[in-house]
Amino acid sequence: QVQLVESGGGLVQAGGSLRLSCVASGRTFSRLVMGWFRQAPGKEREFVAAVTPLGLTTDYADAVKGRFTISRDNALNTVDLTMNSLKPDDTAIYYCNAGQRLRGPWYDYWGQGTQVTAS
């Protein structure tokens, strides 16, 4: 079992930046693929980005490529999402999760999420 706690969300003007952080506890963090997801009002949760256990490979949704960067620190059990050039369409609750491969399957370890609003 893994417990995940997201933080760093907020209200930002379009074109601005935010850095989200997720702290994990429980299972061996350094063995897990970690990912970020988001869910906008009235929409299903969607994949945003993922990183392999040692941080050597990343994957991004087309909508965020070139603007978002995922990174991890296995010594601190954290995975971050740096978001630049934010757009109103990026407004959503952002969640982190753990999985087996870059595009899943994903475990059911969802945290409470952190709200990002770009206007």
What pLDDT sits at residue 116? 98
Please, which pLDDT band fits residue 104 given cuts at 50, 70 and 90?
Answer: confident
Can you tell me the distance from the alpha carbon of 119 to that of 106, in angstroms, rounded to the nearest whole number? 31
**Could you tell me which residue, 81 or 100, shows the higher pLDDT?**
81
| C-beta separation of 64 from 49 below 8 A | yes
Q: What angle do CA 58, 52, 48 make, to 5 degrees?
A: 50
Of 18, 15, 48, nearest to 34 by C-alpha is 48
pLDDT at residue 20 above 90? yes
Q: How many CB atoms lie within 10 A of CB 3?
A: 11
Q: What is the dihedral of CA 78, 105, 95, 17, to 10 degrees?
A: 70
Which structure tokens are listed for 118? 């770009």
pLDDT at residue 27 above 70? no
For a pLDDT cut of 70, what percent of the chain falls above it? Answer: 99
- Identity of residue 9: G
